[in-house]
Structure 1
Amino acid sequence: MHRVFSQIESGPLALDAALACDLSELTADELVRLNRLAQDLVRKATALGLAAMAEASRAEAHKNAGELSMTALVAKEAGVSRREAAQQVRLAQQLDAAPVLRESLGRAGMSTDKARIVSDALQDLPADLTAEERRAVECDLTAAAPDLPLEQLRRKARRAVEVVDVHRADTIENRQVEQAERRQATQVSFWMSRPDAETGMVKGGFEVDAVTGDVLRSLMDSATSPRKQDGAPDRPHAQGEAFVQLVRHLPKDGFGNHGGIPATLVVTVDEATLRGSTDRAGVTEHGTTVSAGQLRRLACDAGILPAVMGSGSKALDLGREERYHSVPQRRALALRDLGCAFPGCDRPPGWCESHHLVPWSRGGPTTVDDGVLLCSRHHHEVHDRGWELRLHPIDRIVEFRRRPAEPWRRNHHYRPLTLTG
């Protein structure tokens, strides 16, 4: 018998013994530790299973088990659908050609979903890349995968070749986004019921493309900012009331926020793309990637604000004449902070208020550099607990600390959405 069996045969018995334990006796710290250990076991077992699956596929071992295919064997043994089994077999086979990715499967933060994203991106690389360039892409995606949420990893994977050719990454991503936009345009739908005989209420639903969804999300975020709910019992009800107002009045410039900014969808685009001299995908404030062609169309919409990067515009700072940041200044803050800047917060710009880094009452100017977006909760937190804030002199990201001896902290939630290059 191969030595691999002597290495792992005791594992199931140890797990059976652990499953028989009363976990209610554990402290909170112990439960966190146990969960971490369990996830580590899952990752390592998955890595071993995929390696075995790849070898079994090569050896056509399914025939020895009386199955027609490796997919059928995996579906039977794992108790999953044939579709899921086929995905597992495909991933196992792809990992054979991706040794760096294969070796990373047991690392904290990795999963089969992330491995599949990276593996598919490697499969879709241009055929003319050299072996060295392919390995550079594999190493780059694999190194980033454990620390990125799935959606952010998908965005990075769309630009996989960026590590070796930024311009080519722009071209490939823009082509992919254009294809997705054309597909979405054929899938939009809407439905609405007749009024209910008893309640008089109407139900409805829709499917729209991501950019249209962002426009609606910006309107709803602006209309349901926590300080504007006026006694609404919960967020769904507040959103329902806002939707009613939107339908009845069809506003051109949305709802005003505290501080005076209307609900406008901000789309970041570089100047060359807007002028048509190059095609580089842009991104909305909600993180939706937009093709160059649609960016130029959106720039003509009165409800869309194209934030032109590299244009050299300086008309945002108004000095100290006003206490509240102006509409253009708040838009600039939204572009820089992308939401509440407090570490760990995920509130969008429509839920935020502008705050002075140096208090207005102590002579702080009402400028973009002296401003920061904070949601209502963290605005109170900063005021009540005396947080110290600064604008980092190099990358212009606002940082926070409670005491001088503590390290500066920043919000990493929105950073992957920032355009680079």
Structure 2
Amino acid sequence: MAAVETWAGALLGSSLDAESDIGAMSDDGLVRTTEALARLGRRVEALQARCAAGLAERSRGGDADLARRHGHASAERLIAQTTGGRYSDAARLVTVGQATSRRQSFSGAPLPPRHPHVATALERGVLCVAAAEVIRRFLDRVAPAVDRDAVEAAEELLVDRAPVVGIDGLTRLVKQLEAHLDPDGVKPREDELRARRALSIWEDAGGMINLRGAFDPANGAPIKLAIETLVGAELRRARDAKRPFGEDWSEDGPQDPELGDAALADDRTIAQMNADALADIARLSLSSVDAPAALRSAMVVTRIDVESLESGSGHATIDGVDQPVSAATACELIASAGVTPVLVRRGSEVLDLGRSARLFSAAQKVALVERDGGCAWPGCQRPPSHTQAHHIEWWKRDRGRTDLANGIMLCSHHHHRVHDDGWGIVIRDRRSWFIPPSHLDPEQRPRAGNIAPSHLVGRHLAERRRRSEAGSTVGAGSHRAAAAVPLAG
């Protein structure tokens, strides 16, 4: 407890050296001290809420209005100024304080707090003001439609679970309880949420396309599920699939299990993966034959001049977007389904609207999928519908041909990795190999790309037949040789 006293003293401005004392704490001591200080903080919050309720009580207008006498329009403004916090935080202190303070009847008789279980939990330091406000709002909302015993039982349950589940878990529990206690209120709440749905899209001064949205449950659920499913698959791939067919598997024999980890690592944040997943969903929708008619006719048009395409160093534009993109990004976009390239000469003369020689045909993509199975990047599990056909030798830069020997299927993220990081790709015996740039692997050891399961099984069976036939030939030869040797005797 000495450490707790030291830190509590530091909070009160004593001369105790709390900063240096932390270095002497054990791990367990540091955890216990943090817990004790959190409990102390919750009790301080409870006292602040009581004071806030008192300030609000004395700031009801007139000459005696306490807040106005101190130059503030309301008790909340006075509290925000005093604490240095936000108005919303001050308002929360007031509402929680009013709901958990003892009251008086019109005759002056003492009354218990409006929410006594919340008040007790606050006093004991087991409930924070933020959680108390979640419970308070819920109880006040359902009280007119639900009998008193049910409201009290709900209050007990929420106060008991709040320290265990945290604010997010408490919010989920409140939603379930509200639907259970007030089933007639579900539809009006649903209608209110649906009326508040909104999505804004704009391009900011820095060139980023911004989306800000809020969705009711029915509209938001499929969006949330689609993005979380794609991101979850990426996270599982990163966790479980260091090698596409086992930790040490390779076509040429066992490899070092740690060989490609650093080079193949996916360093995207969850937020970046969410953004990539949403973009993939949009690309898939634009290219789907089952998309609504309006989407099937929509095209992402990328305009680039021939000189930039050939040199790979210029820029391109995308219709509807102000910010130019690099020639490399334009090449990636042109390889995507649903994207129409417009080649122009300097001076804006249109030379070509997506030459067939530039793009892989549908039949060629089917053949590439038959070989690669989906994204060919080592360990990636993106299906064919999420991939683009990439020229291994770039069409303009390297004069690469649009044929099966020069094509490979890649998802959008790994297409970016190949273009941006400078990965090399070779196809040997209908198998892809990825060669990392020297800054990722100085030895540039090839990584075996994915292979379609059906293709893998076919290769395996063919190899077994070859070995079996070779063994039969050797066995037959040995038998004939043995028969030719006369028996002794």
Q: What TM-score results when the alignment is normalised by the length of structure 2? A: 0.41
Structure number with larger C-alpha Rg = 2
